Structure 1
Amino acid sequence: MFTRPVIVQNSAARTWAAVARIDHSGIGLAEPDERDGMGAGLAELCEIAARTELVDTLALQVRTVPDDGAERAAWEQAHTRADAAPLAARVNALLGATLTPAAVRTEAFVTVVIGESRIGRAAKESGGGVDGRARVLHGVMAEVESALRGPVGCTAVTWLDSAALAAAVRTGFAPGDRGQLIAADLAAASGAQLATGVPMAAAGPTQARAELRHYVHDAWASVTDTILLPDSGAVLGALAPVLVPTTAGERRCLTVFLAPLPLDRATRLVGREDMSATTGNELRARMGFRQRARQRRDTERIGTADEKLAAGRALVRPAVAACVTVPATWPVDEHGRRLAASVRAAGFVPLRLDLAQDSGFAAAAIPLGVGLPNRRGRR
């Protein structure tokens, strides 16, 4: 299609990444069988990523953005008739002024992150350098796209080029700039001679300040919480209440990080946990202590994981970060409390990232694959 997907190099973390914008019909109106199929498709996506032995992290990001009305304004300008009835025009203007501030738009991104330690040998076989890494990354992108379009149920998967990624980063820092960017794109498509997009160098904030419990960037302020996932797991769509804004003009972001472990490392990890659980249960039984409910649940969980690994499933390390963004003149702490309340209402435990709001915001709202930290022994 004569497109050039951008490849993101993180020199500090020694990773390479590619970002895709996805369109999905959602699960709100889906039947239970369809939801089960989508959940199985997500599990299959993680298994594909694990079998490649290249993917470090899959980051699924969803933004709930206030609607700026740019598309509606362009449509009205193109279809307004001079002989239209005054009452109809007045009713349409009233509906636009009333409904647009309360409307929201949803945009979703998928970021595929590959570590240099994993891609290095394959890239050398493909020619070396940036080109070799791009060839390897494009192969992984094709596998991920096939899973997204198939069992996951995405209707469109668009790998972002440099201009589109710059716009996604800019709207992540400044949600109010989206209307101007969309209006310029629509005007240029209609034949107007004007500059569109935003340079990558100008995609970040002009000024930023990391406070104790929130992050200020330009005219906006954000609060980021990580979400403690329960041991018992969660159903598909359980995090949906976190994305619901509590007031007009509020932007919510949610990023789920899925780090599939290689099969050999997953087997060693489950084997160590099984040995520890078995030894602990035998020692408690010899000393006459009764086995607690949590200990029984952990033993069952380890046994289930071992069976799934033997059946070809993947062991995935998950993490979730949620962010709320409001104008800097609004009471930021109050909206942070509302975000924490939404997380608790969904059945999870929020953890505020004190003294790390800047990096937390980058993980939750910017689709560049910044998220899970490295651990010792990770290859």
Structure 2
Amino acid sequence: MKRKLILSDGTVLIGDAFGGEGEAIGEVIFNTCMTGYQEAISDPTNYGQLITFSYPLIGNYGINRDDFESIQPVIKGVIVKEAAEFPSNWRNNMTIGEFLKLKNIPGIAGIDTRMLTRHIRENGVLKGAICSIAENDEVVLTRLKAVSFPADQVKQVAATKPYPVPGRGKNVVVVDFGLKHGILRELTERGSDVTVVPYNTPAKDILALSPDGVLLSNGPGNPRDVEETTEMIRVIQEKIPLFAIGLGHQLFAITNGCKTTKMAAGHRGSSYPVKDLKTGKIIFTSQNHGYEVEAHSVDHDVLSVTYQSLNGDSIEGLAHQSLPAFSVQFHPEAAPGSEDGKIVFDQFMTMMKEHKGKVEQHG
């Protein structure tokens, strides 16, 4: 059965249907991962998007129970060149098509995804619709032009109630803006006793949990849509060690006087080179963001830039000049991607230990 992908600039691409039924409208993005499609599909940061995988074969090792980044995927659709129908892997539970059908997420195969990737790079992120071959192009285009994407994306994916992830180490509160399971895995592997709280939890409620440190998670959408959380961040960073990832990084930056802007095409993939400006070392990182911190807006008396992308010079890390607080734009939990960035979790652990030692010394 045929389907088509219609972009808001009038581009029409015809392919083969797989996965769920029905029409899907969303923001068309591209992801350059060769592997890790399951993590990308289940990453809450991709809320409401149609993911184009530029690598030509997707699904060749199937879908398994271990690699999910959330329980319920929140993407709108999947665009691939070829969806593997006979995956080969000892962990395989089902094909990507079977999974998308189970979750009622439409997919379209047979698309020249490398051409589509170039098109997005040249023209910026576009609205798109995956729909039946029988649909009238002009009618779909009219619907596309009328669509406005929601500003409550974080609310749609974040936890609504606190919950524990027990451990016997440092007491870490994770503020959930669209949390990936990989972050919890890295914290628990380091023995942390984690409490996850909703993104709109007041600072006083977080401090009442007596945390050794607070982590601001990744999440979807425009950081300005949840700018009300900056007051909580401002209070927390002055009292407790703070570490922020992805959307959390952008909110940390806004809290400290920076501005953010939407990127033309974004950074989404698993091998983005980033430079540690302190050591000069290059690490490869997993990234998934459509917004970035404006470099000219950084007050260097307040924040220092710690990491910088080698693909476009965007800011990939910040540290407060006088408070125990830092952030990274990339996804250090490496799900999927290189494990180079995991070092920042160790830095967070060290920061909490040192801060606690200072408090006890002066207490």
Tell which structure's C-alpha radius of gyration is larger. 1
Which structure exhibits the higher relative contact order, with contacts defined as CA atoms closer than 8 Å and separated by 6 or more residues? 1
Of Structure 1 and Structure 2, the greater strand share is in 2
